[in-house]
Amino acid sequence: MNNDIFEKLKAIAVNDIGIDADKVKPESDIIKELGLDSLDIVDMLMKVEETFGVTIDDSDVVEMKTVADVVRFIENAKA
């Protein structure tokens, strides 16, 4: 897993969404452990698209359960 992508994603979660930094780990479940609701998820995905220059389709979102899943998506989208 790309640590630079993880750290940028963690910064978005902490600074833009307001999640406690200690909770943001690669294995953290986005909904169950981080407590994001649908509006938080949309906001975060928009920030991810803007920050990393990727496009995230609705079908891709369904596959993203953990922070690591989002990192892998970004890695694959940029490859």
CA dihedral 59, 57, 75, 52 (to 10 degrees): -160
Let me know if 37 is a catalytic residue: yes
Q: What is the pLDDT of residues 27-60, one digit of tens each?
A: 999 999 999 998 999 999 999 999 999 999 989 9
Residue 36 has φ and ψ, to the nearest 5°, of -75, 135
What pLDDT is stored for residue 39 in this prediction? 92
Q: Does residue 55 contact residue 39 with C-beta atoms inside 8 Å? A: no
The identity of residue 38, as a single letter, is: S
Residue with tokens 């490859």: 79
Sign of torsion over alpha carbons 29, 7, 37, 23: positive
In this prediction, residue 1 has a pLDDT band, given cuts at 50, 70 and 90, of: confident
Q: State the catalytic residue, choosing from 4, 22, 37, 57.
A: 37
